[in-house]
Amino acid sequence: NAGVTQTPKFRVLKTGQSMTLLCAQDMNHEYMYWYRQDPGMGLRLIHYSVGEGTTAKGEVPDGYNVSRLKKQNFLLGLESAAPSQTSVYFCASSYSIGGLLNTEAFFGQGTRLTVV
């Protein structure tokens, strides 16, 4: 049971380059999220999805785009990378019970992105 898998684990980009981070979950969860973790900042939500074909902005969405064409995949795109986007990115998924989302999230192992 793989859970939540992120690809790639590490990446170095030059300023202005683009890339896509892939998140895949095999737990049939409805909800998926992208967070970034920076020193002293905790985990901040970038974008999230409440189901296939739907996406919404989180706390820090600028400079990122997402897509969820399939229920099990959630893609995070950087169109023109900037040094401020150097961070560790985590994907997570969760499920609802009776429509309530008071459940835990399952996280991937993270992607360490450096923009030079």
Partner 1 sequence: DQQVKQNSPSLSVQEGRISILNCDYTNSMFDYFLWYKKYPAEGPTFLISISSIKDKNEDGRFTVFLNKSAKHLSLHIVPSQPGDSAVYFCAASALGSGGYQKVTFGTGTKLQVIP
Cα 112 to chain centroid distance, Å, stands at 12
What does DSSP assign to residue 100?
Answer: B
Q: What is the three-class DSSP state of 84?
A: helix
Asked if 22 interacts with partner 1 (CB under 8 A), we say no
Asked if 106 interacts with partner 1 (CB under 8 A), we say yes
Asked if 109 interacts with partner 1 (CB under 8 A), we say yes
On whether the CB atoms of residues 28 and 71 are closer than 8 A, the answer is: yes
Helix (H) / strand (E) element for 93: namely strand 87-94
Whole-number minimum distance, CB 57 to partner 1, in Å? 11
- Cα–Cα dist 87/67, whole Å: 20
Asked if 50 interacts with partner 1 (CB under 8 A), we say yes
Asked if 107 interacts with partner 1 (CB under 8 A), we say yes
Asked if 46 interacts with partner 1 (CB under 8 A), we say no
Binding site for partner 1 (CB under 8 A): 4, 35, 40-45, 48, 50, 56, 90, 92, 99-102, 104-110
